[in-house]
Amino acid sequence: MNSTILMKPIIGLITVLICIQSLVAQQLETISPIDTFESQIHTEIIGNQIVFKSELRPLVQIPGGRAPYYTYLWDFGDGHFSTQAEPVHQYAQPGEYNVTVYAVNNYDFGPKPKRPRKKVEAASAIASNTSPNLFEQNFFSSNGIFQIFKLSDAKPGEDISLVVGVNTEGKKGRIYILSNEKVAGLDGFTFANQSNYYREKIDTLPQRDGLHSLWASVKQSTFTKTGSPDYGIKEVSLFANENQAIGYFKDLYGAYNSLTAYDIDPANAEQQFSLINLDVTEDMLVDTNAIVTITGVFIPEDGLANVHQVDIPVVKSHDPNKMSVKPARMSYRFQSKHKTLTYKVQFQNDGEGDARNVRLEMALPPEVDKNTFKLKALYPKCDTCQTDNAMGCYRYYIKDDGTFVFHFKDIALPGTAAKNITDMDSTKGFILFDIDMEKKKFRNKSFKSYTNIYFDKNPPIKTNTSTSRFRQIISPIVTVGATTTFGTPKEHETKYQFKPGIQLGFGLAPMAPYKRPYWQAEIYTSYYEQNGSINISGLKQPVSLPIGPEGRMMDVTITAYDSLETRKYLSLQLPLQMRYNINAWISVGAGVSLRKDFNTSSSAKKTYYYMVDAAQGMEERTLLVENDDIQKENSALKYNPFFDINIGRVYMGPAIGFRVSYDKNQKSHSGIYGIWRF
């Protein structure tokens, strides 16, 4: 007995410990691993230059994966940067500088490396006029004036480093950075910090209302766009008047939620590079196959503006072989008008030699029309193959199984393992293309794609699954219809009849999903009339009726009487249901309606049949008694179960609905109505 008593608390304690352990394990799974390696920067002075080298944690290869490697961005603390693994730098002025290296672990299974920082002393002996390094020499490849460089793709929970460069050409100006596209639906980036090596006046919350006068001063805008590598897209817009310029920039700025700015003064330097760090929020986890865009705008004092956009894929891991889509989340409501998807397939040769043939075999969703393929940009840059024997070109075709193939033929894409590689971007390639969705096929569901990448005769590398889905938005619903009651309900001696009534309602539901249950809430009013009748015959009942002169009461014997009571009701109903779309034309639902009936008017009529003595003997007469002052009867709160079916455009648009409900008074009653989902 005592052992049993002791065992109960022990078993309870063990249960609690197991639960705690389970919760801790679940929390640990959601915590990103932290690098515990003590990262360092090592320096060596050679003549008037300093050689930098980083010591980071050893990379961990993914089992069965490709060889991992680091990419770097060195911040020398004086407004100059480099992407070399072991850069050499000389300072123009003696002094003390804080050097930082930003590293990205590609193909790596381990955590993000720590960011080492070191204070460096530059003596007067090594100070001299400096020339731009390779990174800065090639920085302005798109337009020569203004450009944005991204160190990595956007991984939720980490930060992303951008270098914004401007060649002032002796002109003052202002730079704006636009992030968090409204079409993406999330504020995935938050401003962390920005360097001010050139005494930039940073404004993290500029007022949008005061920008019209600045836009009005713009005469020309040059638009360029890059990813990694450069897209080669360049467009020049000339503005004939102020309104054109204001409209152009208003549309551009209006596409983003976040805006930061800083001023540029050429007196500080002819070429100026600013490091901007943005935190990538955990909310981006829902879009780890999307392409998001950050836009930079440089408006100088002469009104010759430059707009530069950089595409940034959102990733779960830093893998250069990736398929991304834009928009990753769409509005189903407007998809019939805006039905173009933009895909980017990027790849990297990590071998020692050049890749001669790169073949991208894309499994695109059946809802897209592959014949609408439109190539926007590619790298390596080459022309389309004119003949089967052409070399250094590309071709694309559709296989019998529907796979879309894009083939780089007889090119020379260098590998990351080659000894003479100084620019990692030269080992990467991509295609950027548009493709339209087929209006007749698309449904409110996600569209999945992936690519098998073949380098020469090597086994394929399968990319991530790129998913484009519809945003979960609410659809307003309007209903207009009529209701009627089946049969003639009877309660005691009273038979009830209901005249058809009209109904007008409004509802809300998620934009009807494809092959998935969803809720729908409504509120509507209906107007109906209830007639309750009693017919009694075969009586010999003495009563007093007002049938005498001047309405005096007289005793008579009635043989029968009829009673009719008419009530008109205004019914307020709150139906809540679960629905399911069987296909594009049929939808069913079931639920419960909370209902309250308000008696707006009432009247009663009673007809008596009685016998009186007449000249020819007994004669039957009638007396009609009306009563308009009977008491109004509002119903108690009711719960009416119902079944509902819609036929028509059940995803969005007009349809016809039929609903059958049960009420303890009206028994089974139904309604037919028109419904429109917006």
The pLDDT value recorded for residue 288 is 81
Residue 466: HSE in the Cβ half-sphere, 13 Å Cα cutoff: 28
The pLDDT value recorded for residue 351 is 85
**What CATH number labels 30-137?**
2.60.40.10
Judging by DSSP bridges, how do beta strands 49-55 and 40-46 pair with one another?
A: antiparallel
User: Within its chain, how far is the Cα of 351 from the centroid?
Assistant: 37
- Tokens 């003390």 correspond to 96
User: Domain residue spans in the chain?
Assistant: 30-137, 140-318, 322-470, 474-677
The Cα 421–Cα 414 span in angstroms is 8
- Tokens 């648009």 correspond to 653
CB 479 within 8 Å of CB 522: yes
- Side chain identity, residue 494: T
Beta strands across the sheet bearing 88-89: 40-46, 49-55, 88-89
User: Within its chain, how far is the Cα of 136 from the centroid?
Assistant: 37
Closest CA to 57 of 81, 33, 73: 33
The pLDDT value recorded for residue 438 is 84
The Cα 333–Cα 256 span in angstroms is 20
- Side chain identity, residue 106: N
Q: Which residues of the chain have pLDDT under 50?
A: 1-31, 127-128
* Coil, strand or helix at 83: coil
CATH level 3 topology of 140-318: Immunoglobulin-like (2.60.40)
Q: How many residues does the chain have?
A: 678
User: What is the pTM for the complete model shown?
Assistant: 0.75
Write b or e for each residue in 561-592: b if 16 or more Cβ atoms lie within 10 A of its Cβ, otherwise e: bbbebbbbbbbebebebebebeebeebebebe
Contacts for 262 with CB less than 8 Å, ≥ 6 apart? 174, 175, 194, 200, 201, 202, 203, 274
The answer to whether the 30-137 and 322-470 domains have the same CATH topology is yes
Burial class (CB within 10 angstroms; exposed 0-12, middle 13-18, buried 19+) of 619: exposed
Cis preceding-peptide flag for 380 (omega within 30 of 0)? yes
User: Phi and psi of 288, rounded to 5°?
Assistant: -80, 35
The pLDDT value recorded for residue 4 is 45
Retrieve residue 322's tokens.
């990736």
| Domain 322-470 belongs in CATH node 3.40.640.10 | no
The pLDDT value recorded for residue 23 is 40
Q: What is the secondary structure of 297-346 as a DSSP string?
A: EEEETTSEEEEEEEEEEB-SS--SSEEEEE-SEE-GGGTTT--EEEEEEE
